């Protein structure tokens, strides 16, 4: 197994290992690198859906996919991100992840890890951008840290769905009430603080009336997504990219959907219960 840094102080590229046949010790080493470095890229992986789900479960509890229509048949843990049409029907979500966000902010227990496995990739575009939120917090001026450190964001799956012109099902309404998460969180593994503004369905900042609250979120997203904090992943077929949502915002870059096909399988890990006990309560939005 060979490793190299994706960028200074963030991320590791891992090659010369097949996770299907890796030893328990090697797999644990991979998990530790992810926990310590925020993201990993595993090159040249030949993974069928069973292998992807098995590796996902090594990292924790697979998360619920609210849009069942874009999951892989027979594999509810796997969402399909693709503009591919088969028998006249789309096989996945062609527009996932185009704005800066961390995954599942609308959940009481947001996404912990996200895994993307590439089957078909465009020659141009469709990069995945990862922003290092711990580095962004460290770079934030001290007076600004004091101003934002206790703020809580109001997240809503219903609002996210409305932006995408999707109608909520009764199950989605039941499972996904509005939630409240702190803007600044301490990483559960390494103890570093991360600045976590997020657009995806965010209705505003508690105690700050809109539009000022949404303007603050926009300002902070622009700060944490400066080029100095970003790793840009140029995809190769059979790449497995995994990142830690505790310390990462991400987005995909555009590509020509009439010229190229993108086909990616995605799984999510849900944050443990103990990390988010009070996220339904706006007064207790500050998770440990």
Q: What is the pLDDT of residue 94?
A: 92
Phi-psi sector, 34: left (phi>0), alpha (psi -120 to 50), beta: alpha
Cα angle value 49/16/231 (rounded, 5°): 80
Tell me the HSE value of 193 on the side-chain side, using a 13 A CA sphere.
13
Residues β-bridged to residue 242: 40, 115
* Region 123-135 average pLDDT: 97
Instruction: Estimate to the nearest angstrom the gap between the alpha carbon of 193 and the chain centroid.
Output: 17
- Which position has the higher pLDDT, 281 or 160? 160
Q: What is the pLDDT of residue 277?
A: 58
Main-chain dihedrals φ then ψ at residue 89, nearest 5 degrees: -125, 145
Q: What is the dihedral of CA 64, 49, 131, 14, to 10 degrees?
A: 140
pLDDT class for 281, splitting at 50, 70, 90?
low
Residue with tokens 């999510």: 268
pLDDT class for 274, splitting at 50, 70, 90?
confident
Tell me the HSE value of 27 on the side-chain side, using a 13 A CA sphere.
13
- 201-211: pLDDT as tens digits: 899 999 999 99
- 91-106: pLDDT as tens digits: 999 988 888 999 999 8
Q: What is the pLDDT of residue 181?
A: 93
* Region 233-238 average pLDDT: 98
Q: Where are the alpha helices (DSSP H) in 75-211?
A: 133-139, 142-148, 157-163, 170-175
Please count the helices (runs of H) and the strands (runs of E) in the chain.
Answer: 7, 18
* Region 232-246 average pLDDT: 97
In sequence order, which residues have a C-beta less than 8 Å from that of residue 123 and are 6 or more positions away?
260
Domains and CATH numbers, the chain: 2-284 (3.60.130.10)
- 165-207: pLDDT as tens digits: 777 888 888 888 999 999 999 998 889 999 999 887 899 999 9
- 242-262: pLDDT as tens digits: 999 999 999 999 999 999 999
- 132-167: pLDDT as tens digits: 999 999 999 999 999 999 999 999 988 888 777 777
Q: Where are the alpha helices (DSSP H) in 4-127?
A: 24-37, 49-59
Q: What is the rounded distance in angstroms from the CA atom of residue 138 to the CA atom of residue 226? A: 13
Instruction: Estimate to the nearest angstrom the gap between the alpha carbon of 149 and the chain centroid.
Output: 22
Main-chain dihedrals φ then ψ at residue 33, nearest 5 degrees: -65, -40
Q: What is the pLDDT of residue 282?
A: 54
Closest CA to 266 of 167, 119, 160: 119
């Amino acid at each position: 197994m060979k490793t190299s840094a994706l960028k200074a102080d963030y991320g590791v590229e891992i090659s010369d290992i097949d996770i299907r046949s890796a030893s328990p010790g090697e797999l644990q080493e991979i998990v530790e690198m992810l926990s310590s470095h925020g993201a990993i890229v595993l090159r040249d992986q030949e993974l069928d859906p069973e292998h992807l789900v098995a590796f996902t479960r090594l990292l924790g509890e697979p998360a619920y996919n609210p849009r069942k229509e874009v999951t892989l048949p027979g594999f509810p843990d796997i969402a399909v991100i693709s503009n591919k049409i088969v028998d006249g029907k789309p096989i996945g979500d062609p527009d996932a992840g185009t704005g800066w966000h961390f995954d599942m902010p609308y959940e009481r227990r947001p996404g912990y890890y996200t895994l993307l496995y590439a089957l078909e990739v465009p020659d141009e575009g469709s990069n995945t951008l990862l922003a290092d939120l711990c580095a962004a917090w460290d770079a934030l001026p001290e007076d600004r840290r004091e101003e934002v450190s206790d703020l809580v964001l109001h997240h809503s799956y219903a609002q996210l769905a409305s932006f995408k012109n999707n109608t909520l099902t009764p199950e989605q309404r039941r499972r996904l009430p509005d939630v409240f998460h702190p803007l600044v969180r301490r990483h559960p593994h390494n103890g570093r603080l991360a600045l976590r503004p997020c657009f995806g369905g965010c209705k505003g900042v508690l105690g700050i009336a809109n539009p000022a609250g949404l303007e603050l979120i926009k300002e902070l997203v622009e700060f944490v997504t400066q080029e100095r904090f970003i790793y840009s992943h140029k995809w190769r077929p059979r790449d497995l990219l995994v990142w830690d949502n505790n310390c990462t915002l991400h987005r995909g870059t555009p590509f020509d959907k009439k010229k190229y096909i993108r086909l990616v399988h995605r799984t999510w890990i849900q944050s443990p219960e103990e990390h988010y006990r009070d996220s339904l309560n706006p007064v207790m939005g500050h998770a440990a």
